[in-house]
Structure 1
């Protein structure tokens, strides 16, 4: 009699452990927030979600590296073209400056004087 009650207790305990496992509950029950059910399922479902997302990210990273490599190469080529364009423009500006000689300095000084006189006229009209 005692042996049968002990075996029955072990059987019931085994059934309780199996039925209390978080993967056996449907997702809807865990999402409802029932205290007795949702304690273990929330963490388990979170880990399950994270496993899938990390696998997908790893696949995307493997497939995306080749396309990223080509995009980076194209970007570097375009940057080299821009830099060469800037150097050509700088050379042209230097040539123009040499051709004009000291005229640029004279023009700049005249412009500075004209803005100064315009400011004086503007201040005088306020009084």
Structure 2
């Protein structure tokens, strides 16, 4: 008795699942005025349509964020390279300045003397 009741219950459950599935009913059912059935079908079809597009959007978003992430990482690496280049150039300029420091001071002193003598000559010619 119990076995037959269990089998009957499974059979009814299977019939209920099949008959309650939204894609079972054709779209024409809604046109005939049976709104209860057509609402479930429309919602199911809407979810089915959106499922593919949401998967594609998720893939695009993943690829987009990963490509943006790679682009940002590349930008930071290039900025670090530029900063290290500036620091290297600054070090080289400091070394050149140290090497030329004595020479530049000598050149400046000679220029000062030459302008002083030029001024004396200029003043002497006015008299």
- TM-score interval w.r.t. the shorter chain? 0.3 to 0.5
Taking the aligned partners of 1:90 and 1:52, their CA distance within structure 2 comes to 56
Taking the aligned partners of 1:54 and 1:64, their CA distance within structure 2 comes to 15
- 1:98 shift after superposition: 0.7
The Cα RMSD (Å) is 12.6
Question: Larger deviation: 101-110 or 67-76?
Answer: 101-110
Judging changes above 3 Å, is the alpha-carbon distance between structure 1 residues 6 and 89 closer, same or farther for their aligned structure 2 residues?
Answer: closer
Alignment gaps of 5+ in structure 2: none
Judging changes above 3 Å, is the alpha-carbon distance between structure 1 residues 26 and 3 closer, same or farther for their aligned structure 2 residues?
Answer: same
- 1:64 shift after superposition: 1.0
**8 Å CA contact retained: 1:30, 1:42:** no
Taking the aligned partners of 1:31 and 1:111, their CA distance within structure 2 comes to 102
CA radius of gyration, larger in: 2
**8 Å CA contact retained: 2:27, 2:38:** no
Which stretches of structure 1, 4 residues or more, deviate above 6 A after TM superposition?
1-59, 108-127
* SS, match of residue 102 in structure 1: helix
Q: How many residues align?
A: 127
- TM-score using structure 2 length: 0.37
